[in-house]
Amino acid sequence: MGVTLFVVMTLTIDCNNFFLKYVLWVPADHDLLKFRVALLGLCALAVSKEWYEFLSNKFCHRLGPFAWLMFYNCGVEVLLVIKCSEGKFTEPFPWYVKAIWTCLTAGFLLLLSIAYSNQ
């Protein structure tokens, strides 16, 4: 579960980069985006070390400050995308996209229940 949460957070941060560019009308070659990616990339080094230590060391009971900072940063960016994207995504998802996501979610939950029962 810990690795899955880490992967989901990483993918959310990567998706936020593209959503923020679209929602806030920032050109792709803007220096602010390059600085953001470089800063988050450097923070990711510390976050991955803290996350690995938290998962693998049985004596470690707390996450470090970089991990918490990255969680809050991701949350604020998601809320910013939700707030600023009002009226931009009006098309409903096609039925096949909903079907694929339903199958993927069901498969993940099945694998999760199998992993939990083997523990």
> Are residues 83 and 33 part of one domain?
yes
pLDDT at site 9: 92
- Report the share of the chain in percent with pLDDT over 90: 81
Query: How many structural domains is the chain composed of?
Result: 2
Tell me how far apart the alpha carbons of residues 8 and 6 are, in angstroms, rounded to a whole number: 5
pLDDT at 119 over 90: no
Report the pLDDT value the prediction gives residue 118, as an integer from 0 to 100: 85
Same domain flag for 99 and 77 = no
pLDDT digits (tens, 9 = 90+) for 36-80: 999 999 999 999 999 999 999 999 999 999 999 999 999 999 999
Average pLDDT score, the chain: 92
Of 22, 33, 28, the C-alpha closest to 85 is 22
Which one, of 30, 108, 40, 97, lies nearest residue 72 by Cα? 40
Same domain? 74 vs 98: no
